[in-house]
Amino acid sequence: MRVLTRRAPTAAATVRSHDAHPDHRFGSVGLVTALDGETLTATARNSATVAAWTLVSRATGLLRVVVIGAVLGPTYFANCFQAGYVVPNIVFTLIAGPILAMVLVPGVVRAIGAGGLPRAREVLGRVAGWLLVVSSAVVVLLMIAAPVVAWTLSLGISDPAQRARGFWLTTLLVGLVAPQVLLNCLAYLGMVAQRARGRFALASAAPAVENIVLILTVVLAGWYYGTGLDLDHVPVDMVVVLGVGSASAVALHAALQLFGAARVGLLTRPSMRWKHDPEAVAVTRRLARSVGVAACPAAAMYVLLALAGSVPGGVFVVQLSYAVLFSLSYVSARAVSMAALPGLAHAAHQEDAATFGSTWRQGLSYAVIASLPLLVLLAVFSGPTANILANGELRHAALIGPLAACLAVVAVAQLVGGMSDLGSQALYARLDDRIPRRASEVAFVVTVVVAAAALLVPADGSRLVWLVVAILAGELAAAGMVLTRLRRVIRPERFIELRTLAGALVATVAMVPVTAAVWWIQHVLGGGQLSSLAVLTLGGIAALGVYALVLRATMARRTGEAS
């Protein structure tokens, strides 16, 4: 195999070059190029951008769950609302969800490489037409099936009268929020367009607006109608306000994402002619084949919420655990995977094994470096964190203890889930959707089996902890399959950078004593939630500072030894 002496063009350079020369082609198929230093810098910069703005979005998402719990309290109505208003998100994930970016970003990148922005808009518009038709049909089906959905979500309520009331209110809520499926589709299309062009800031920050609008809606509803109301005392007007406010928040989010697509030159009119475009057909087929990758986690989430509904306030604990899980993973490993996908897709398109392998190793190193300190901080601070998050009507010892245990499990799950997501992104960049699909199916089976075992546990906090353990078990199963497959396809390229990972482990060990000392200081000082938050924040910053310093020193020493 002949090796080129010139450096491989970066993804950003590829986009700029194609803007000027739509018919340009890079390299020859099968040629191996060297990784450009600019690509390394771009991936690191984009990862930081995604992490920073996603941190804002996820922090507001976490605040959303906390506020809903504080206003609605540990009631069956809180369970019904918290499970009901996320049903459209779950349903959208069943038909596309996060998998949309994994499949569509490589397709748009390839379209830009083949014919510039006009061709990319054409492909994106035709795929958008197909998606909007499907999502519109799903909205209608969801509204028809609202009573069935409500029945499953209210099944855990023991009192027959309250169960009947919960069924009626949940049916109404699901009908009001059903259009969010279509709105979520529009939001994701705008997000995909921005990521394909290497723009990540608005795409990652826009969900924060949706969270803020919903928070304001819940606070105003609680102020006007009252807090801690259970099913017998909740007026229908309150459910209508909450449902309309939730749908309005998603509509604003979608508008922002479409604005971002317009800014990068990829806002296009949906077309119904996808059958006449081979590339659009190929993308839609990969999406259809990948339904299981998105559907299985969504279905598992639905099962967990339904089981958590058997414990008053249980949906809050499980949903908050999910929120923390994704908040951490999306500012660490998943942030890296989103930033690395365009570069991986370009390298795979060029069949450039060296660049693909180097980009993967770099992404894996960044993901581990970002995830390990979060694991230590959350695992050690799980008790104080649970005490801070349980506010208002939910401030009960019966929920704080189980929530702390759930957060400790989440600390490990965020690292495992991030590795699984990064591996899936790399496989999708190679247009390999078979293994991610199978991994998702296996994860679903494992999660449901472990969650079903929770029915053998008393209907209290211990059941909730078991449900979160089911999440970790599913993530482990998926990560094992995805990473094993990726290791095979990357050979003979190296799979990991041992020196970088060893440096991260050394830095992690160094921060453990600092983190433990902060926990002890907080425990001794006691005080209220604000004082605990201040101590944990300052202590966490100090621990992260130690981690960063040790990591830098370790990597500098290893670099010196290598030279």
What's the pLDDT tens digit per position in 236-279?
999 999 999 999 999 999 999 999 988 888 888 887 877 777 77
pLDDT at 140 over 80: yes
| Whether 421 contacts 486, CB under 8 Å | no
- Higher-pLDDT residue of 249 and 558 is 249
Task: Tell me what pLDDT residue 458 has.
Answer: 79
At residue 23, the 3 state secondary structure works out as: coil
pTM over 0.95: no
Decide if 29 is inside a domain.
Answer: no
Beta strands, E only, 30-120: 32-34
**Looking at the domain assignment, is residue 19 inside a domain?**
no
Distances (CA, A) of 380 to 216, 375, 519: 32, 9, 7
| C-alpha closest to that of 28 among 349, 379, 369 | 349
Does any domain span residue 527?
A: no
Residue 325 lies in a domain: yes
Average pLDDT over residues 298-313: 80
Q: What is the pLDDT of residue 15?
A: 34
Place of tokens 């063009």: 9
Report which of 257, 320, 332, 252 is spatially closest to residue 465, judged by C-alpha positions: 320
**Strand, coil or helix: 541:** helix
In a domain, 42, yes or no: yes
Q: How far is CA 243 from CA 280, 433, 448, 449, in A?
A: 35, 36, 29, 33
Residue 24 lies in a domain: no
Residue 213 has pLDDT above 90, yes or no: yes
Residues 1-11 have pLDDT tens digits of 333 333 333 33
The span from the CA of 396 to the CA of 399, in Å, is 6
User: In which domain, by residue range, is 91 found?
Assistant: 34-496
Domains contained in the chain, number: 1
Q: Is 546 a member of any domain?
A: no
CA angle 371, 382, 507 (to 5 degrees): 35
Tokens representing residue 91 in the block: 């349903």
More confident residue, 548 or 197: 548
Q: Taking residues 121-149, report their average pLDDT.
A: 88
Mean pLDDT estimate for the chain: 79
pLDDT, tens digit (0-9, with 9 covering 90-100), for 215-239: 999 999 989 988 888 788 889 999 9
Distant-in-sequence, close-in-space partners of 542: CB < 8 Å, separation ≥ 6 = 514, 518
Contacts (Cβ under 8 Å, ≥6 apart) of 98: 294
* In a domain? residue 462: yes
pLDDT at 145 over 70: yes
Residue 98 has phi, psi (to 5 degrees) of -60, -25
Q: Where does residue 491 rank: exposed (0-12), middle (13-18), buried (19+ CB within 10 A)?
A: exposed
Task: Mean pLDDT check: name the lowest of 25-34, 168-177, 318-327, 472-481.
Answer: 25-34
